[in-house]
Amino acid sequence: MAWKSLDDMDLTGKRVLTRVDLNVPVENGQVTDTTRIDRIVPTVQAILAGGGTPVLLAHFGRPKGQVVAEMSLRQILPALESALGQSVTFGADCIGEAAAEAVAKGGVVLLENTRFHAAETENDPEFTKALAANGNVYCNDAFSAAHRAHGSTEGLARLLPSCAGRLMAEELAALEKALGQPERPVMAVVGGAKVSTKLDLLSNLIRKVDHLVIGGGMANTFLAAQGIDVGKSLCEHDLADTARSILAAADEAGCEILLPADVVVAREFKAGAANEIVAADACPADAMILDAGPDAVARITSTMQGCKTLIWNGPLGAFEIEPFDRATNAAAEAAARLTKSGTLVSVAGGGDTVAALNKADVSGDFTYISSAGGAFLEWMEGKTLPGVAALEG
């Protein structure tokens, strides 16, 4: 990868326009989860240590080009200052006089929501020039927004000397290790509700990995495509031909597809619902499949033990409610053990995936957990991410 890191840049006396992800959950004006804020701290500290002025650019919500008070980054300021352990100057706009005055004060600077300007999402050249006026160097530390070709994510990299921040560099290195130049054999776990949302992902992975585990509601569609009655389970019956073509393509590519041989079924979708374990082809007509069974988990973990690399996106069952989180938890615990033992490189990402691994209490044991949602998925799909491509020049 041809992008530069912060260590490749001379930051002395430079204003460093730094694209970060501050799109954090807020309730009643208070940040309720500081994870994304905490993850940008190393980049801000590195810029300060290098003699530069970090000028933070970020979006918050989707104001659609309007100034929306509830989406102002001003409310993030206390949490940001707490994470950095120092005061932060706030600019009431990301361009123009308000921005210039804030940047002139030095220290750490946070400019207002870039999406208060419609020109940001349009990647308007004049708007991007106005952003660039307040910087000498551009640093992108927001992989989570790298799939958007916006002014602050892609346009600036075309106007200023550019580099990846600490978090971005860490993310790109982890992803390269997982799918770019992975140690083989490689296993991918792909779960979630619908095949229709992950067609590009599955089509890309069957050409890249040795073993592909399909779980969640997606597995039901593949089972049904093979003539198996899945009862009242969530299933996209209209995608049967698509599922069969994916299975055929995987076979041709030498990729083993792992579908559950046994499943956990219930008549109600609620926590603690009466349930039973049956063979995948024995789902009662009045029941629904809500999790993979123990035999399915045993096969997954056994295959995983022979692998060197694991990439995970999506749960194996309805992990939000017990006891239908057992398969996801057991497979995640196995991945964590193998990672800790040094035999497996494990990379995971996506909102539901992070929530599931946190619930299983194994997030800290994976090699890398991506905080990105859409960008992580598009990278897994094999798509070019504009924000990354711009850094590579």
Could you confirm whether 177 is annotated as catalytic?
no
Could you confirm whether 194 is annotated as catalytic?
yes
Catalytic residue, chosen from 4, 74, 158, 194, is 194
60 labeled binding residue: yes
267 labeled binding residue: no
Catalytic residue, chosen from 50, 65, 107, 351, is 351
Strand partners, 349: 370
Whether residue 89 contacts residue 102, with contact meaning beta carbons closer than 8 Å, is answered with: yes
351 labeled binding residue: yes
For every residue of 60-105, DSSP letters joined together read: -S--TTS--GGG-GGGGHHHHHHHHTS-EEEESSSSHHHHHHHHHT
Could you confirm whether 129 is annotated as catalytic?
no
CA triple 264-270-271, angle to 5 deg: 80
198 labeled binding residue: yes
350 labeled binding residue: yes
Write the Ramachandran bin of 231: left for phi over 0, alpha for psi from -120 to 50, otherwise beta. Answer: left
Distance CA 95, CA 111 (A): 8
353 labeled binding residue: yes
Contacts of 130 (CB under 8 A, 6+ apart): 95, 96
SS3 6: helix
Could you confirm whether 351 is annotated as catalytic?
yes
Catalytic residue, chosen from 15, 36, 39, 208, is 36
Q: How many CB atoms lie within 10 A of CB 271?
A: 12
Catalytic residue, chosen from 359, 374, 382, 383, is 374
Strand partners, 110: 56, 90
Instruction: Tell whether omega for the bond before 185 is within 30 degrees of 0, i.e. cis.
Output: yes
- The structure tokens 């991945």 sit at 335
308 labeled binding residue: no
SS3 344: coil
21 labeled binding residue: yes
Report residue 346: phi and psi, to 5°.
-120, 125
Rg (CA), the chain: 23
SS3 266: strand
313 labeled binding residue: no
Residue 66: burial class (beta carbons within 10 Å; 0-12, 13-18, 19+): exposed
Instruction: Return binding residues for (2R)-3-phosphoglycerate.
Output: 36, 115, 148
Instruction: Return binding residues for ATP.
Output: 198, 320, 350-353
Instruction: Return binding residues.
Output: 21-23, 36, 59-62, 115, 148, 198, 320, 350-353
Catalytic residues: 36, 194, 351, 374
Instruction: Return binding residues for substrate.
Output: 21-23, 36, 59-62, 115, 148
